[in-house]
Amino acid sequence: MGSLKVNLCGIELDNPVIPASGTFGYGYEFGELYDINVLGTFSFKGTTKDKRFGNPTPRIAECYMGMINAVGLQNPGVEKVISEELPKMRKYFNKKVMANVSGFSVDDYAYTCEKLDEIDDIGWLEVNVSCPNVHGGGMSFGTSPEAAAEVTKAVKSVTTKPVIIKLSPNVTDIVSIAKACEAAGADGISLINTLLGMRIDLRRKAPVIANKMGGFSGPAIFPVAVRMVYQVSHAVDIPVVGMGGVSSAEDVIEMMMAGATAVEVGAANLIDPYACRDIIADLPRVMEKYGIENLSDIIGAVK
């Protein structure tokens, strides 16, 4: 059998499959169901400087071939994540984990990343720049190359671990933003985050979720994700982590051929808690079907 191993920013993964932030908690919830050490790694729940309760309910709506969520980054804050959540995670996961970081100012990002940089278990910092900039009129950091670069520089100045910037697809030119992050020192790019979506309750004549709009994810966005991963991976010289509607081993292969070094699985975990385990188990069959010896050989195979 060929090799499933890939190298992400200098750290070897047993396979490229990574549960995406916000869909896998802190790992221990799934660790009660199966041995999560079969994963390449996982990106734990988005962490902010301070505790957040999140958005009002209802905040999840089902859609055809997907879902909309507006959870609002509910988390206990970085201090509690370090003191309470990560010790529980260690009982189930013995590999390097990916920390997902969010913030509402450049200082927020820097503070949280500096705290998490001290933790040995953490291998990568995945910095989500899809958050609203409270000092910049509320626009997302990720909608501007300059703002995304500013966050990247601030985080890189206080960390020693690889920094992967997670980009929003809700922009007109994602390549320019990715290149700005690379120029500012990013070690990798992950994409795509959710598309902006909305559902309306016909009986109530009102939005289904309290926040009106939210992040649209699931299989319906997969072609958009593949396109953006292809565009970005061919424009930068740093690794790309692809995500967006991935739900099968075939999807993983397709995302890697588009240019992804590793692949995150999101909404599928909420439908089937064993999704990542089963995708990994199926990868050798799909590799054999398409004559793939080593997964690392197919990264960016489509020119």
- Domains annotated for the chain, with CATH where assigned, are 6-55+73-197+217-298 (3.20.20.70)
Neighbours of 274 (CB within 10 A): 13
Average pLDDT over residues 70-77: 94
252 contacts 298 by C-beta, under 8 angstroms: no
Which of these, 177, 183, 184, 185, lies nearest to 145 by C-alpha position?
Answer: 177
d(CA 53, CA 72): 8
pLDDT > 80? residue 126: yes
What tens digit of pLDDT does each residue of 9-19 get? Answer: 999 999 999 99
Q: Return the pLDDT at 130.
A: 86
Percent helix, strand and coil across the chain, each to the nearest 5: 35, 20, 45
Distance, C-alpha 50 to centroid of its chain: 21
Place of tokens 């690889």: 162
pLDDT > 80? residue 137: no
Q: Return the pLDDT at 133.
A: 63
d(CA 125, CA 21): 12
Q: What percent of the chain has pLDDT over 70?
A: 97
16 contacts 229 by C-beta, under 8 angstroms: no
Q: What percent of the chain has pLDDT over 90?
A: 95
d(CA 206, CA 201): 5
160 contacts 7 by C-beta, under 8 angstroms: no
Q: Return the pLDDT at 1.
A: 65
What tens digit of pLDDT does each residue of 201-212 get? Answer: 999 999 999 999
Phi, psi for 66 (deg, rounded to 5): 170, -165
Question: Full-prediction pTM beyond 0.85?
Answer: yes
CA atoms within 13 A on the CB side of 21: 31
Q: Return the pLDDT at 138.
A: 59
DSSP 100-124: EE--SSHHHHHHHHHHHHT-TTEEE
pLDDT band at 134 (very low <50, low <70, confident <90, very high): low
Catalytic residues: 131
Average pLDDT over residues 247-270: 98
pLDDT > 90? residue 167: yes
d(CA 255, CA 242): 6
d(CA 229, CA 246): 13
Q: In the predicted model, what is the mean pLDDT of the chain? A: 96
Element (H, E) at 146: helix 145-156
